[in-house]
Structure 1
Amino acid sequence: MKISEIKKSLAEVEAINFRLPTGEYLPAHFHVTEVGLVSKHFIDCGGVERKETVANFQLWEAGDYDHRLAPQKFLHILKLSEKILGSEDLDIEVEYQQDTIGKFGLTQEGEDFVLTPKQTACLAQDACGIPSHQLVGLPQLQAASCCTPGGGCC
């Protein structure tokens, strides 16, 4: 989801509901503690220099159960953040505290904003020599037997 899309959606919904990939909803008393610009400048494993920039929302919940963030208030926060985010229509990344800080993508289903799983990937598959049938997501990688010394996955 992009900044322009969430602004449009916030203007149309009566309440803000964030849903985790598990289907569980964030408590209604969540806070948006940060809206920021995150830039990543890196070299992939094939030696290619890359840059990524996203708008980052940090969601947090506290014990103030009477707190409810109205769509208009969130729009106001986004308006204030324009001096940091600039005018580019950036993709949104969401941070939410779980066992550790989880990073998610964002989409919309009906009136719900849905946090979507993010996974790592090899950006230089040809340079690594990994056949496409051996490329697996993180959940499969943790259970795969190839990740042993000499197993050929690294």
Structure 2
Amino acid sequence: MTLEQIKKILPGLSNVEFQLENGTFVPEHFHVTEIGKVSKHFIDCGGTVRNEEKVNFQLWNADDTEHRLKPGKLLNIIRLSEEQLGIEDLEIEVEYQETTIGKYDLDFNGKHFILKNKATACLAQDACGIPTEKEKISLQDLEKKVISCSPNSGCC
């Protein structure tokens, strides 16, 4: 989800609710403690230099269980961050702490914002020597291959 997308969704909501993919909700007394632009300049394992920019939202739970962030307030925080930090329409990444700080992609299911699990991946698979997919073979077929392989056939 991008910044423009969340700005279009917020005015139609009565509450701002975040839910993890496992169905657990972020406690309703959360705070958005930061909105920022995060730049990542890095080199992948294949030697390609890359740049990545995202808008970062940080969610935090405090002991003030009466706190409720309303859609208008979040929209004002977003607008202030755009004005003060020059944030553009980028993908949103959310930081939220359970046992450790996790980073999540953001989606919307029509009622709640969904914190989508992120996964690592190799960006240079062709340079890493990682096979794309292992050949799947049944044990019966494997037995036939072994039986048909003779010492001088070049298959061993």
TM-score range, shorter chain: 0.7 to 0.9
Partner of 2:110: 110
My pick for the range that moved more, 82-91 or 19-28, is 82-91
Q: CA deviation at 1:87?
A: 5.3
Change in 2 beyond 3 A, CA 1:38/1:68:
same
Partner of 2:55: 55
Residue 133 of structure 1 aligns to a residue in which SS? Answer: coil
Gaps of 5+ in 2: 135-156
Q: CA deviation at 1:84?
A: 4.8
* 1:27-78 Cα shifts (integer Å, max 9, x gaps): 1100000001100000000000000000000000011011000000000000
Gaps of 5+ in 1: 135-154
Give me the whole-angstrom Cα distance separating, in 2, the residues matched to 1:72 and 1:111.
16
- The alignment covers a number of residue pairs equal to 134
Partner of 2:101: 101
Give me the whole-angstrom Cα distance separating, in 2, the residues matched to 1:96 and 1:133.
33
Q: Judge conservation of contact 1:55–1:85 (CA < 8 Å) in 2.
A: no
Change in 2 beyond 3 A, CA 1:120/1:69:
same
Residue 76 of structure 1 aligns to a residue in which SS? Answer: helix
Matches within 5 A, 1:30-45: 30-45=30-45
Letter in 2 for 1:95: E
TM-score w.r.t. length of structure 1: 0.84
Give me the whole-angstrom Cα distance separating, in 2, the residues matched to 1:59 and 1:67.
13
Give me the whole-angstrom Cα distance separating, in 2, the residues matched to 1:131 and 1:88.
38
The percentage of aligned residue pairs carrying the same residue is 57
Partner of 2:4: 4
Letter in 1 for 2:73: K
Partner of 1:90: 90
Partner of 2:129: 129
Change in 2 beyond 3 A, CA 1:11/1:78:
same
Q: Judge conservation of contact 2:81–2:87 (CA < 8 Å) in 1.
A: no
My pick for the range that moved more, 119-128 or 79-88, is 79-88
Give me the whole-angstrom Cα distance separating, in 1, the residues matched to 2:61 and 2:87.
29
Q: Judge conservation of contact 2:29–2:67 (CA < 8 Å) in 1.
A: yes
Give me the whole-angstrom Cα distance separating, in 2, the residues matched to 1:133 and 1:101.
32
Q: Judge conservation of contact 1:36–1:84 (CA < 8 Å) in 2.
A: no
User: RMSD value over aligned CA atoms?
Assistant: 1.1
